[in-house]
Amino acid sequence: MVRTERIALIVAGALMAGFFAALVYAASGLGIVVPTCVGDVAPFSHGAVIDKGGNHYEVHVVAKMWAFDPPEVHLPPGADVDLYLSSPDVTHGLYVERTAVNLMAVPGVVNAARLRFPTPGTYAMICHEYCGVGHQQMAGRFVIGALPPSAPAPAAAGADAGAAAGAQLFAQKGCVACHTIDGTPGVGPTLKGVLGRREELADGGTVTVDEQFIEHQIRAPNSAVMKGFQPIMPQLPLTDAEVQALVDYVKSL
């Protein structure tokens, strides 16, 4: 073995040992954990708008079947935005209307873009990758304008407050992708006037929709399937309070 070969081998060996030592140090000394699926870990596991000061915002958008979280992002005009996009389920897309932002939301990956909205207005977020039955209704929006005052909403009483919270959940949890509230047919039955409605079931039975039935359908979707529809409603992880808010909202439609 000539001398230069020996030097090359020693240098390569030293580099590998160095990299390995750096990995061990990062994992044990610095406590850096490399997640196996970034979509499952904070801060990319849920939508967020973070004010970094100086009209600079970090916006985390989670694209999931079939809604964007958050569904609506309010920002002041001229804001510099760092946009981070992730997905916990399947591949989605994100196109922000009238901007150069066109990203893929791939499970396990965080994609990013930097943008600025110079003029006030509404800019739709659109999923441009086919992602299932709710795809064509998967959209959100950026609203650029004076920020709404962040004063706490006046506390309404009982079912009214529940219905208002339920209306928000209805959009956030993606229910809106399949259930319309104006009577037009969707992927799932419309919820307009659903309370007290007599429904035919896919198995030939009938049911009169009451509060208990609505709650049961939210907690255990597909235990009863309406005639003409498919048993495809996902079971959402909801707290009891969230279920009650959704029931109050659906009853109010």
Q: Which residues bind ligand CUA (CB under 6 A)?
A: 63, 66, 92, 127, 129-131, 135, 138
Q: Which is nearer to ligand CUA, 62 or 253 (CB)?
A: 62
178 within 8 A of 66, measured Cβ to Cβ = yes
Cβ 194 to ligand CUA, closest distance in Å? Answer: 26
Cα distance between residue 98 and residue 107, in whole Å:
26
Cβ 73 to ligand CUA, closest distance in Å? Answer: 17
Cα distance between residue 74 and residue 146, in whole Å:
8
In which residue are the tokens 């970094």 written?
52
Alpha-carbon Rg for the chain in angstroms: 24
Cβ 96 to ligand CUA, closest distance in Å? Answer: 14
Q: Which is nearer to ligand CUA, 76 or 107 (CB)?
A: 107
Cβ 126 to ligand CUA, closest distance in Å? Answer: 9
Cβ 67 to ligand CUA, closest distance in Å? Answer: 8
Q: Which is nearer to ligand CUA, 63 or 96 (CB)?
A: 63
Cβ 64 to ligand CUA, closest distance in Å? Answer: 8
Q: Which is nearer to ligand CUA, 61 or 144 (CB)?
A: 61
**DSSP 8-state secondary structure symbol assigned to residue 196:** T
Neighbours of 16 (CB within 10 A): 10
Neighbours of 174 (CB within 10 A): 22
Q: Which is nearer to ligand CUA, 159 or 236 (CB)?
A: 236
Cα distance between residue 214 and residue 246, in whole Å:
9
Distance of CA 82 to the CA centre of its chain: 17
30 within 8 A of 22, measured Cβ to Cβ = no
Cα distance between residue 187 and residue 178, in whole Å:
5
Q: Which is nearer to ligand CUA, 135 or 251 (CB)?
A: 135
